[in-house]
Chains A and B, each alone.
Chain A
Amino acid sequence: MFLISVSIFIKIYMSNEKKQSQAKQVPKGQNLLEFIFLRISQASALLVLIVLLGIFISLLINAWPVFKEFGLGFFFSSDWNINKNKFGGLISIYGTLTTSIIALLIATPLSFGIALFLTESCPIFLRRPLGIAVELLAAVPSIIYGMFGLFIFSPIFAEYVQPFLNLTLGHIPLIGILFSGNGNGIGILCASLILAMMILPFITAIMRDVFSIVPPVLKESAYGIGCTTWEVSRHIILPYTKNGLIGGIMLGLGRALGETMAVTFVIGNAQKIQPSLFAPGSSIASTLANQFGEAMPGLHFSALFALGLALFIITLIVLSLAKLMIIRMEKNQGATT
């Protein structure tokens, strides 16, 4: 990815050089200002690339000792024993992926519905207040969600929701094991629900913005020939806003993957993988938050950096998949990239 960005940068630089030679016909004062502006913006772009590369390299260097010891098997081993110096990232990676995916599965249909309601069927006088409310929720710091989750949501979850899920879904043959065991309000499912509450307003705000820039003439023509609201949403709005939707969902997923304090409060911090979603677990961010302050330089320290590297790579993969999905969808519709 770094090579792609470097080559893009070089192309931009070369095209700028051509513009520079054409700019010699412009009066001198303007030429200098133009020059400074171009160079500063180029330097800023270069700075971003350097920071990205720097983070990746420093993660790799600090994680190297643990890769030398365990190889790539580090990512697939579920041993995490600090005293015996055996480390494996599978527990934390499993926790991160599970909580983020469940949060996304819950949040995406809901935010889709909310955004459609706000742009299509909501009474005009309600649109502005509701829109502002959604954006305010999206801006609330995540630790407030963590406190809400720990003190308010978790007891209600343990008292009413978990026994209910245990009694109903817990008895279905294949997926029943996901809802087995006692619920005590702390665990992977609880953390996923808190994450869903956190990314829902975020994705909704982006989707609403994207839906509102669909040209009215497209929608009006569809309504004009007799389409229902659902048909307009499905066949006009969705295809038009594809890019923005995927982008919004991926941003929400990115936020869920990296969420630290809210998850650390309610995930239980157990270094185990268990089949039930009610059981406590660990995510990469919660492991780092708990153990980084006291890790002495050595294998433990490198293992934590390796977990950070794993999170970095997961985020890169998610973003690349999103980009590929968009390109493939556009190709299917005949657009040339």
Chain B
Amino acid sequence: MKLLKKLLVSSVFVIGSMSYMTSIAAEMTGAGSSFIYPVLSKWAEAYQAKTGNKLNYQSIGSGGGMKAIKAKTVDFGATDAPMSSADLDAGAMVQFPAIIGGVVPVVNIDGVKAGELKLNGELLAKIFSGAILSWNDKRIAAINPGVNLPATTITVVTRADSSGTTAIFTDYLGKVSPFFKDTVGQGTTVAWPASSTLSGKGNEGVAANVGRVKNSIGYVEFAFAKKNSLTYVQLQNAAGKFVMPEEKTFASAAAGVEWAKFPGMATFITNAPGASSWPITGATFIVVYKNPSDKTRADEVLKFFEYGFKDGKDMALSPDYVPMPQDTVNFINSSVWSQITRK
């Protein structure tokens, strides 16, 4: 009996202290795109140091994020494949782009260094649809004089989960190759036809697989390529120039986008015009409810993204993301955030 009493008292104490600790700081929850995760975690760290409010973000892929926000298990969802305005209206939600980044093909070939290999959209489409099978194919060698390409099979690495990064990548490949559009299609999950396809979970999984498997090619958000020291490639853009992936080329691609024109701001920005534009650029969209059930939490979420837009600009630039330009932020404030009941 004495032991039972002791156990009871101590368990009440532990549970009580746990609930006290969780009630001090409001914790916002979000889920979705792994594309935005590197910059979001930087913002969250700085925001917590400043205000004490924590962000709990699960990088489970855009599809998982959309499922979570539709089930109302998180305060906001993040997706690189924007929801259509019809779906937004049906679910009483709004979305706004929070950051712009680039999707970069990465390779693992012995002797090829970062930025050395050149590819274009047509070749990428052929490699990822299994039409080009080995690295020393004549078509790749033709635009890469002087690069030592081995006579090995190309292992294609794709995403195993429902991914906005896949949506951006397949949107670009569909634009430059009608063959790819017909056979593989576009979306967060597609049936990749190449026989040597591997899949990884999240941008992290693809980066890990490309890093470990020789003679492989995959596609990741640029921050993951830099963080894992992967070998990225140069791509030929719509203007015919070969560009390197970096913040300058991503910004050039995003410069001409007229966000106000698209209902729900829903648009892909791949294959953008401009001599120094990176062809596979994309934005991550944050999805929230118009009339959230927990108004204080919703207000916290918007305050967090306000912080990201204002003070988070430098934090975004170092992993080569492009912060949203000021006039777009003003537009988001006036026409998207005004629809959300914050108090």
Please measure, in the bound complex, the distance between the C-alpha atom of A294 and the C-alpha atom of B61, giving whole angstroms.
Answer: 8
In-complex Cβ contact of B160 among A181, A186, A279, A290 (8 A): A290
Answer yes or no: A83 CB below 8 A from chain B CBs.
Answer: yes
Contact indicator B200/A269 (Cβ below 8 Å): yes
Which residues on B sit within 8 Å (CB–CB) of A184?
Answer: 155, 198, 213-216
Answer yes or no: B136 CB below 8 A from chain A CBs.
Answer: no
In-complex Cβ contact of B187 among A80, A83, A158, A264 (8 A): A83
* Chain B residue at smallest Cβ distance from A293: B64
Contact indicator A186/B209 (Cβ below 8 Å): yes
Contact indicator A294/B162 (Cβ below 8 Å): yes
- Given A83-B190, A293-B161, decide whether A268 and B198 contact each other with a Cβ distance below 8 A: yes
Which residues on A sit within 8 Å (CB–CB) of B209?
Answer: 186
Please measure, in the bound complex, the distance between the C-alpha atom of A264 and the C-alpha atom of B201, giving whole angstroms.
Answer: 9
The A interface, classified by DSSP as helix, strand, loop or mixed, is loop
Please measure, in the bound complex, the distance between the C-alpha atom of A280 and the C-alpha atom of B160, giving whole angstroms.
Answer: 12
* Chain B residue at smallest Cβ distance from A270: B197
Which residues on A sit within 8 Å (CB–CB) of B196?
Answer: 182, 279-280
Answer yes or no: A296 CB below 8 A from chain B CBs.
Answer: yes
Please measure, in the bound complex, the distance between the C-alpha atom of A83 and the C-alpha atom of B188, giving whole angstroms.
Answer: 9
In-complex Cβ contact of B152 among A82, A154, A182, A293 (8 A): A182
Contact indicator A182/B160 (Cβ below 8 Å): no
Contact indicator A82/B160 (Cβ below 8 Å): no
Contact indicator A83/B185 (Cβ below 8 Å): yes
* Chain B residue at smallest Cβ distance from A264: B201
Distance of B136 from chain A, by nearest CB (Å): 14
* Chain A residue at smallest Cβ distance from B184: A83
* Chain A residue at smallest Cβ distance from B190: A83
Best-buried of A181, A271, A280, A294 by chain B (most CB within 10 Å): A294
* Chain A residue at smallest Cβ distance from B153: A182
Answer yes or no: B191 CB below 8 A from chain A CBs.
Answer: yes
Interface positions of B from 49 to 92, Cβ below 8 Å from A: 60-61, 63-64, 66-67, 70
- Given A182-B152, A293-B60, decide whether A269 and B160 contact each other with a Cβ distance below 8 A: yes
Interface positions of A from 235 to 283, Cβ below 8 Å from B: 264, 268-272, 274, 279-280
- Given A184-B214, A290-B160, decide whether A280 and B60 contact each other with a Cβ distance below 8 A: no
Which residues on B sit within 8 Å (CB–CB) of A268?
Answer: 198-199
In-complex Cβ contact of B198 among A81, A83, A158, A270 (8 A): A270
Contact indicator B160/A80 (Cβ below 8 Å): no
Interface positions of A from 152 to 175, Cβ below 8 Å from B: 154-155, 158
The size class of the interface chain A forms with chain B is 20 to 34
Distance of B57 from chain A, by nearest CB (Å): 15
Which residues on B sit within 8 Å (CB–CB) of A279?
Answer: 195-196
Contact indicator B191/A83 (Cβ below 8 Å): yes
Contact indicator B213/A186 (Cβ below 8 Å): yes
Distance of A166 from chain B, by nearest CB (Å): 13
Answer yes or no: B212 CB below 8 A from chain A CBs.
Answer: yes
Answer yes or no: A185 CB below 8 A from chain B CBs.
Answer: yes
Interface positions of A from 170 to 202, Cβ below 8 Å from B: 181-182, 184-186
* Chain B residue at smallest Cβ distance from A187: B198
Distance of B90 from chain A, by nearest CB (Å): 14
Please measure, in the bound complex, the distance between the C-alpha atom of A270 and the C-alpha atom of B189, giving whole angstroms.
Answer: 13
Answer yes or no: A291 CB below 8 A from chain B CBs.
Answer: yes
Contact indicator A271/B191 (Cβ below 8 Å): yes
Q: Which residues of A contact B (CB under 8 A)?
A: 80-83, 154-155, 158, 181-182, 184-186, 264, 268-272, 274, 279-280, 290-291, 293-296
Question: What are 20 A-to-B residue pairs whose CB atoms are below 8 Å?
Answer: A82-B162, A82-B189, A83-B185, A83-B191, A182-B196, A184-B215, A269-B201, A270-B199, A272-B197, A280-B198, A290-B160, A290-B199, A291-B160, A293-B60, A293-B61, A293-B64, A294-B60, A294-B66, A294-B67, A294-B161
- Known pairs A82-B189, A280-B198. 4 more at Cβ < 8 A? A182-B152, A269-B198, A293-B61, A293-B64
* Pairs of residues from A and B, 9 with the lowest C-beta to C-beta distance, nearest first: A294-B63, A269-B199, A294-B64, A294-B162, A269-B160, A184-B213, A290-B160, A268-B198, A293-B64
